[in-house]
Amino acid sequence: MTNYLARVYVRLKPTVNDPQGLTIKGGLHSLGFGQVADVRAGKYIEIRLASDDRSAAEAQVREMCDRLLANPVIEEFRFDLEEVAS
């Protein structure tokens, strides 16, 4: 078994309204960052898992995203996978 670190990035689909992002944008404008044109807020999840090999780990992380981490109706995800020592 090899240990992997998966970094999962979940964000709302571009067509979905993002009130959290709009609130952050408003806050940044209030702080004087008027050059900010748009903000989108999402989730960043780090998962450490043990797996036989890279392709098995990729399949597992993809299934985790599909079943729990992302809502496929309104969100999209991507991830990268890094082999780690411990």
The Cα 19–Cα 40 span in angstroms is 9
Show Cβ contacts of residue 38 under 8 Å, excluding neighbours closer than 6 positions: 21, 25
Give yes or no for residue 16 binding a second copy (CB under 8 A). no
Give yes or no for residue 2 binding a second copy (CB under 8 A). no
Give yes or no for residue 22 binding a second copy (CB under 8 A). no
Judged by beta carbon, residue 42 or residue 73, the one nearer a second copy is 42
Count of beta carbons in the 10 Å neighbourhood of residue 81: 19
Site map 27..56 versus a second copy, x via CB under 8 A: xx--x-x-xxxxxxxxxxxxxxxxx-----
